[in-house]
Every structure is written in C-alpha cells, then in structure tokens.
Amino acid sequence: MNENSNNKPKINVPKPNLSWLYVVIAMVFAFLWFSSDEGSANKEITYTEFKDMVSKGYASKIIAYDNNTVNMYIKPEHIADVFKSDANKVGRSPSVNVQVGSMEALDKFLDEEQSQGHFTGSISYEKKNDYFGVIFWNLAPFLFLIALYFFAIRRMGGGSGPGGGTNVFSVGKSKAQLFEKGANRVTFKDVAGQAAAKQEVEEIVEFLKQPQKYTELGGKIPKGALLVGPPGTGKTLLAKAVAGEADVPFFSISGSDFVEMFVGVGASRVRDLFRQAKEKAPCIIFIDEIDAVGRARGKNPNMGGNDERENTLNQLLTEMDGFGSNSGVIILAATNRVDILDKALLRAGRFDRQIYVDLPDLNERKEVFGVHLKPLKLDKNVDVDLLARQTPGFSGADIANVCNEAALIAARHSKASVDKDDFLAAIDRIVGGLEKKTKVMTAAEKRTIALHEAGHATISWFLEHANPLIKVTIVPRGRALGAAWYLPEERQISTKEQMLDEMCATLGGRAAEDIFIGHISTGAMNDLERVTKQAYGMIAYAGMSDKLPNLCYYSNDEYSFSKPYSEHTAELIDQEVQNMINEQYARAKALLLEHKEGHNQLAQLLIEKEVIFAEDVEKIFGKRPWTSRSEEIMASEEASKQKEEKQEKEETPVSTSENEAKDPEVKELPEPTEDKTTLNN
C-alpha cells in the first residue's frame, strides 16, 4: 500500500487566486460603514412620540424621504432624555426614525411648530438610497465577466472530468480513465468462450505477475498486443480481464480522445498518458478503437490529410519505442479495422503480437448463453443447445441482446418465466425484424408468397448440403413478406458442391413462382442479390470456374480504381456467372416438378397456418436423409463425454481395490480430490 501511494502521480492543478475577492469585500464593508454616520445610535419611534419630541424642542434636523419615512436628529443636550444614556455611548449624531402617513400632514405640523418657536432646525427632503442595489448593479458586470472567464476556461480544459481542470493549460492532459488495483475487478471467469484468445493473453498476465522470471533469462517483456476482431466479440472485456487477473492499474482511453481541434494537443496527451503509466508501473494501457488515431500515414495525399492526427500517431510510435523494455508498461489496443493501421504501428517492438478475437463458435456460444441466462427466470423447456445452433454468426453482444429481448417479450405477455418460444421470437425479432400482422394482403398475394417460401423449403429439404430447415412463415416481418428460417452450417471450408446446393435452394422461390403461377415477381430480389454475389465470389475469388480455373482476382487496395483483370476476362466472368446461375435455376425447377404434390401441400398448409415448422415438412416429405454438421459435432462430443464417464467408472473400482489390498482402513476414508481431478481431466 505504501509503495502504491508513493507511485501515485501528483498532478498540480493551478488554483485561482482569490485575494482580489477579499479586497473587494473589504472595500464594500468599508463603504457601508463610512456612509452610515460613523456608527451613531438609531431608534424607531411612533408618530405620537415624534410630535411630542418636536414640540419639546428635541429636534435639531429633520430629513424626510420619499418612502414616507422621517429621520430626526436629536440635540446634544436632549440625548439623555431620548436614549436614556450618555452622549459618548450613542455617538455624536444619534437619530430616531418614524413612519408618517403623508408628507402634507408633516409639512403642516412642522410649519405650526416653527411658527410657535418649538422647532428651530432645518428641514430637508431626500430620496432614499438603496445601498445593496447600488452595489449590486455596479458589481454585476464584473461578476458576469468573471463567471464567463471561468466557464470558458473549463470548456477549453475539458470540464471537471479526466483531463479537465480550471486552467487552459490542462487541455493537454490525458483523458484516460484509471482503474486502480482491486476496483471493479474483472477476471477470465467473466469472459465466456474465446478460449484461444484467453490462452494468448494469459502470457501477458504472467509477464506482469512475475517479470523477473523472464528478465533473468534475458527475455524482454512484450510492449503491446493488438486485439483484432469484429464488433461485440469482447475485446474490451478481455483487456479488463487481463488487468483484473494481473491485479495492476488499468488505463482506459479511446483513440478519438487524442484528437482535438487544438494543434499539438493529441501528442501532449500521449506524452502525459505514458508519464502517468510509468509512475504506476507495472500497469496496462488500453486504447480502444485505435484506428481513429493509427490510420496509415500518407496513403493517398491527393484526398487530403490530417497533420494533427499524424503528429499524434508519430508521438505514439515514439512513446511505444521510447521507454525501457522492462518498465512493466504493456499496451493493449482493440480494433476491427486492422487493415487500415499504419505498418510502423504493427511492427515487432511496438505491438509484438496480434490476438484474434473471433466470433464464437457453437460451443463458445453455449458458454456465452450460460453467462447471460443466469440472471433470467427460465422455463424448463429452454434448450441451450438449440439456441446456440440457431444463432450462428452472433457475437457476445448479440447473444446478450437475444436474452434481454426474450425477457422483454415474456414480460410483455405477462409470463411467469422465459420459455423457448420467447427466445425463438427474440431471435426472429433481431434477425428479421418486427412482425407486421396488420399488413393487408389479397388472397392472390398470399398464395404467391406461400408458393415462394414453400419452394425454398422443398428444395432445401432434398439437397444434401443445404442448411437444415427450422420453420417457414408468410407473416410479414421487417421489409420481408415471408421468410424461411434455417440452421446455417458453420463450415471451416466450403466446397463447390456445398455452395451450389445453397445457391439452388436460394433460387427455389423464384423457380416456384415461374412454374406454379406462370409469372415472376419482385419478391425474389433479395434472393437474386445473394445468388449473384455468391456466384461472382466463387468465380472471381475462389477460382471455381471451368474457363477460369485456379485464378483469384481479389485486390486489397481500397484506393485502387482499376480492376485487376482485363475486359476480356471481365466478359468471361460475367458469362460464367450467368451459366452457373442458369444451371442451378434449371436444377431447382426440376426438383420442384419432381416433388410437385408435396410442394403444393406445403404451400396450402402455409396459407392455412401461416407458420409451419420442420416437423410439418417431415410429415409431408418424410425424414430428411442427411445429418447436419452441427448435429454431427454435438453427437461426437456427447459420445466422447460418455466414453470419458465410462472410463472413469471402470478405473474408480480398480483404484479402490488396490487401496484396500494395501491398507484395509482406507475403506472408511473418502476418495482423494486429486484422483477425481485427474480422472475428469
């Protein structure tokens, strides 16, 4: 604790000098004091007492104010009669105050007293002065200017948050948020899935925990690691888990926080950040969305540039390669645009390694669902395996959104728990959009949509490599008038045959319209778009063409305006794409004509029920003869688990009998924990 407190950076924030304020207050009080007749006594009296004192000749001077108040000064010889005290104690000019009814009555009374000789003093009429108002309106402009000054300084300094202050010179301070040791600690237990990424960052944790273990052998602690992956995969959470596991301070900042409108501010903030980090070492600096400041320099000068951003990047490069290699400061950064980063930033010695945080696979999605399902009140029919299979391509953030949406849907229907249908509705809501049951359709339009969707379902059922069907609906959802839901196969590699089967199933809707209605519609526009992109990808990128075999025309240059092939090759690509799509379209038509009766039954069932499931399709066409890839993987995992459990049961009695032979008293003792762990592993 003492070491931590000594290493804490001391930031001297300039404080405003308030001495002038005290001087102003003193001057105001002095003015009020000297304007009040040197502190003489003053007394409130009634109008009757006032008339009596004037008649007795006590008044030396009378001052009448415009607010019907009268101030009467007492003659020195009569001070004791009025104040019952010595003249030295009440001041040199004691007076009394009285409220009169009208100035006309006062004038008449004083004229009578003067004529009788009772009052021989002077009479004056004055305007009542409001000292507070005078002072306020005189000081108000100065107070406004002072407030405006402080407001401008705080705005230029970034406010009272991190990196802000009350001085303009704090604009160059780092805006990094500091998480101290033990504060909001996140560990690897909070990160579900991402086993490969966690394995790589565990080394960084070891570097921070035991740096001497590596430095004694002459090794150098890596300076940085770049977390690369799609949005929502948990890059920021993984960085926080690294800091939590290592139990070290954690500086978090966004790449955009370095860039400001002032010249040189970004570079200044980079310097200040690394200065604080070195004082807190060992620690971690995490820069989120580093592509905001780490874009490649001078990629295309003709399209404009940002000198301030480049200066910031130059300072970052200098700092990363400028401090000692064993200082204990490790930089983690996250981005989903690694292709646009500057090459100098990615070289060894700065970001020594790139850690890919990919989208979770089937088993990892089960783990993520397990984390987000814990706070929910679940029904018994919720199948985590089915949810994991039905959400391919979903990130951790998407899965969290699914769980939250399912809970909202269950609450909307006043359910006691969240069941399977709520989760399926949540997935449909996120993927396809909100149901629009109020959309009006004619019987002909409804039949067209039913035939279209039944065409997709029929062809996918009879193709080996097509995605397994989940359900088919003709209820409008989002911008779609109908949809067929599948369990996409998460293949590591895709063959030409698999891609052709998917293309054929996608064209099934258009083919069904052409055969059974006699005309085509715009409902297949999305299908045609997907098929066209897939065909061009297969021919131009994957080399899956007879006339252009084993050729890839992919170009990674985003600033290139020319195609990497000739016009003749472009014509060949267009011709091959057209031939491929026409072949699969003819194949789809042939399959539909072969299973014409089943297709019509399926379409009629869709018109009646609006939503049908794979069980309904199975009743019409029979059981699908092929097993999906996901089912095959899950069956293999289940078989391996059963095998391990069987081995454990077989090995446990053997070990027990051996122990019994050695020592009869071991019967009464429980099994050692170490043996269980070994068997499970």
| Residues tagged active-site | 453
Residue 210 to residue 454: CA distance in whole angstroms: 63
Q: Could you tell me if 464 and 479 are in contact, meaning their C-beta atoms sit under 8 angstroms apart?
A: no
For residue 455, the surrounding DSSP H or E stretch is helix 443-462
Angle formed at CA 473 by CA 468 and CA 479, multiple of 5 degrees: 110
Token pair of 532 as six digits: 């066209």
Cβ-contact 380, 416 below 8 angstroms: no
Contact 391, 427 (CB under 8 A): yes
| Contact in structure between 655 and 414 (CB atoms under 8 Å) | no
- Token pair for 58: 């006590």
Q: Is 21 left (phi over 0), alpha (psi -120 to 50) or beta?
A: alpha
Structure tokens given for 606: 């869709």
Cα–Cα distance measured from residue 600 to residue 619, given in angstroms and rounded to the nearest whole number: 14
Count the alpha carbons within 13 Å of 266 in the hemisphere toward its beta carbon. 24
CA pair distance 542, 550, nearest whole angstrom: 7
Structural contact between residues 85 and 74, judged by C-beta atoms closer than 8 angstroms: no
CA-based end-to-end distance of the chain: 39
Per-residue tokens: 150:
């402080």
Determine the distance from the C-alpha atom of residue 461 to the mean position of all C-alpha atoms in its chain, rounded to a whole number: 42
Could you tell me the two tokens for 411?
């609450």
> How many whole angstroms separate alpha carbon 553 and alpha carbon 671?
64
